[in-house]
Amino acid sequence: MRQIAHVSRELRHSVGTLGVGGLGFAVLAWTSWGGVPPVSSTDAEARTLVAAVVSCVFVAGAVLAAVMGCRRHARAHEGWVVGVGALIAAQALLVTLPAIANPPPRATLELVALLVIGLVGLASVMGALTALPGARAVADDVFAVGLGMGLLAAGHLLLLIPQGAAASVPMQLLIGLLVLTQVAAAAIVVSQRVLVGLMTPLVVLTAVVLTALGVVVGLGRDTAWDTLVSLALAAVGAAWLAAAWQCLNRGVDRAAARRDAEITEAQQATIRDQRERMHELRSTVAGLVNGSELLDHADISLEARLRLWESVRRELGRMQRLLSDESRPATPVDLDEALVLILELQRLKGRQVELHTTGDTVQARYDSLAEVVNILMDNAATHGGTDSSVVEVVRRDEETVDITVTDFGRGIPEQERQRIFEWGEHGDDSPGEGIGLHLAQRLVAQDGGSLRLAEAKGVGSSFVISLPAPRTSTENDLVDEDGHVSWRRSG
């Protein structure tokens, strides 16, 4: 179905491109200078006005392409490169407007001023193109269309310069300067081989037509070549309009594809978040069920019953925060106290857990630490086939504390060790969904730590939870009434 939709879309784009090209040629051929039979002076003035409108369309196209290119390529030197077409159009526009305002005969000072403007425009275009070898990534379809629009704008503006009966030598030099700018820019771009598809031959053809146009304008327009060059200019103009239409369609398709990808990614992220939350809830509910079953035992001691009630209340509070999506910041956590509380429920499940602590403190969220340890313990029992584990706390350095959780189960096969933290990855005979370890690693990372699988040594497997130690600062210490630093547990 998607393939059919893609073929249909490509067919519509092709038909639209051909239609724009054909219509563009018809309009441009009708409005081109010399492309229609001789008319009266009044009609000639109207024809000049239409030609000016056409020039403005190509100038606007070059500027629009430059703006789009700058938005796509944000770096400053890339912005100058993508604006080459607009610079070419600006040079021709800045020469044409004063020339129109001051028709022949022109004073020497006026001609010198026009030549200076042309030279500044040439320097600007050449300066921008010097950065092209180091910014080849900007030479995309938008850059090519902008260059083509700029060349066409310059060519049509060239037709608007009043010449009088015959172009003077200074005006011929000015026209040659404008054409030189256009041809040199096209030659540099083509020589860099940065354009793709039919853009390169189209740029070459445009440069050839503009060269012929400059010769015709400089030597006199009342020749048979005038009509041929005008028709050639209309043809390349139609080709660039078709290329712009195709570029616009591709841009719309890319924007739609990017929007669809963002929607799909957001949906997948939501689904993954829901599945992770359900994984945490299942683990918490399983602990609550086991704890509540133990409360039914008549032979349980009062002390054990109170500890069990405390564990059940603590897990109910954690589940409530999970369901309400309550997020608490990382705080200093005393591992001696926290791990005793976390492992109490594991022991009440009948698991044998040995704890070795050093009295260290970490900067973390209690709920996240509890969830990570529970995931590792549950994985050892579910996938490793063992209820025996060892939890050991070691201070690696002044900034990091390692919590190593080791089980004595079947271990993890060598071929699966590289991908156990990836979402949805699990062993072929595993009953899990491949969520737990991925979730555990993400929770630890959110607290500025890491979770990794230690090198295999003997039976079972070892996971190392690395968490940052609290920064030494009196502002972060919580002092009780007796002046001792106390620990605040989130949970």
The residue behind tokens 């584990």 is 389
Q: Is the pLDDT of residue 464 over 90?
A: yes
**Residue from 224, 221, 217 nearest 178 by CA:** 217
Confidence grade of residue 491 (pLDDT, cut at 50, 70, 90): very low
Domain containing 87 equals 2-263
- 266-304 pLDDT, tens digit each: 877 777 777 767 767 776 676 677 667 767 777 777 777
Shared-domain flag, residues 364 and 482: yes
Query: Residue 70, Cβ neighbours under 10 Å: how many?
Result: 20
Question: Which of 61 and 6 is assigned the larger pLDDT?
Answer: 61
Shared-domain flag, residues 47 and 172: yes
Give 24's Cβ-side CA count (13 Å radius).
23
Is 110 within a domain? yes
CA distance linking residue 124 with residue 113, whole number of Å:
17
CA distance linking residue 17 with residue 4, whole number of Å:
20
Contact call for residues 96 and 159 (beta carbons, < 8 A): no
* pLDDT of res. 428: 55
CA distance linking residue 358 with residue 489, whole number of Å:
18
Shared-domain flag, residues 363 and 241: no
* pLDDT of res. 433: 67
* pLDDT of res. 445: 93
Q: Is the pLDDT of residue 49 over 90?
A: no
Please tell me the total number of residues recorded for the chain in this structure: 491
Given 225, 247, 263, the domain boundary residue is 263
**Residue from 334, 343, 344 nearest 307 by CA:** 344
Shared-domain flag, residues 346 and 227: no
Is 12 within a domain? yes
Shared-domain flag, residues 200 and 339: no
Question: Which of 385 and 240 is assigned the larger pLDDT?
Answer: 240
pLDDT mean across residues, the chain: 78
**Residue from 332, 340, 336 nearest 311 by CA:** 340
Is 127 within a domain? yes
What the block records as the tokens of 203 is 């740029």
- 403-420 pLDDT, tens digit each: 999 888 888 877 777 788
Q: How far apart are the first and last CA of the chain?
A: 51
- For the chain, percent of residues with pLDDT exceeding 70: 78
* pLDDT of res. 425: 61
Cα 329 versus chain centre, distance? 30
Is 312 within a domain? no
Confidence grade of residue 318 (pLDDT, cut at 50, 70, 90): confident
Confidence grade of residue 106 (pLDDT, cut at 50, 70, 90): low
Q: In the chain, count H helices and then E strands.
A: 13, 9
User: Looking at beta carbons, which pairs linking 449-458 to residues 24 or more positions away fall under 8 Å?
Assistant: 449/362, 449/364, 451/372, 451/421, 453/412, 453/417, 453/420, 453/421, 454/404, 456/411, 456/412, 456/414, 456/417
> Mean pLDDT over residues 460-489, rounded?
61
CA distance linking residue 462 with residue 454, whole number of Å:
5
* pLDDT of res. 310: 76
Phi, psi torsion values for 62, nearest 5 degrees? -65, -45
Query: Residue 423, Cβ neighbours under 10 Å: how many?
Result: 15
Q: Is the pLDDT of residue 46 over 60?
A: no
Confidence grade of residue 480 (pLDDT, cut at 50, 70, 90): very low
* pLDDT of res. 26: 77
Q: Is the pLDDT of residue 109 over 90?
A: no
Phi, psi torsion values for 332, nearest 5 degrees? -60, 125
Shared-domain flag, residues 349 and 218: no
CA distance linking residue 88 with residue 487, whole number of Å:
70
Is 286 within a domain? no
Shared-domain flag, residues 96 and 223: yes
Give the pairing type, strands 352-356 and 485-486: unpaired
Q: Is the pLDDT of residue 75 over 80?
A: no
Is 274 within a domain? no
The residue behind tokens 């350095």 is 397
Given 263, 290, 321, the domain boundary residue is 263
Q: Is 38 helix (H, G, I), strand (E, B) or coil?
A: coil
Is 317 within a domain? no
Is 304 within a domain? no
Q: What is the CATH number of the domain that holds 434?
A: 3.30.565.10
CA distance linking residue 35 with residue 19, whole number of Å:
21
* pLDDT of res. 4: 66
Per the structure, the count of domains in the chain is: 2
Q: Is the pLDDT of residue 120 over 70?
A: yes
Given 245, 263, 281, the domain boundary residue is 263
> Burial of 107 by CB count in 10 Å (0-12 exposed, 13-18 middle, 19+ buried)?
exposed
Q: Is 397 helix (H, G, I), strand (E, B) or coil?
A: coil
* pLDDT of res. 165: 47
Q: Which range has the worst mean pLDDT, 139-143, 197-201, 245-249, 301-305?
A: 301-305
**465: DSSP letter:** E
Confidence grade of residue 490 (pLDDT, cut at 50, 70, 90): very low
Shared-domain flag, residues 128 and 217: yes
3-state helix, strand, coil in the chain (%, to 5): 65, 10, 25
Give the pairing type, strands 352-356 and 388-395: parallel
- 142-199 pLDDT, tens digit each: 889 999 999 999 988 887 776 554 567 777 888 889 999 999 999 999 998 888 888 8
* pLDDT of res. 411: 80
- 323-380 pLDDT, tens digit each: 777 777 888 989 888 888 888 777 766 778 889 988 889 999 988 898 899 888 888 8
* pLDDT of res. 363: 92
Shared-domain flag, residues 250 and 335: no
* pLDDT of res. 482: 42
What the block records as the tokens of 450 is 């890491």
Shared-domain flag, residues 460 and 374: yes
Shared-domain flag, residues 257 and 342: no
> Mean pLDDT over residues 377-390, rounded?
81
* pLDDT of res. 76: 53
Cis peptide before 105 (omega within 30 of 0): yes
pTM of the model: 0.56
Instruction: Give the burial string for 348-379 (b: 16+ CB within 10 Å, else e).
Output: bbebebebebeebbbbbbbbbbbbbbbbbbbb
Shared-domain flag, residues 104 and 240: yes
Strand-pair partners of 400: 468
| Winning range, highest mean pLDDT, from 11-15, 174-178, 250-254 | 174-178
* pLDDT of res. 206: 93
CA distance linking residue 374 with residue 368, whole number of Å:
10
Confidence grade of residue 6 (pLDDT, cut at 50, 70, 90): low
Q: Which range has the worst mean pLDDT, 71-85, 202-216, 274-288, 350-364?
A: 274-288
Query: Residue 59, Cβ neighbours under 10 Å: how many?
Result: 24
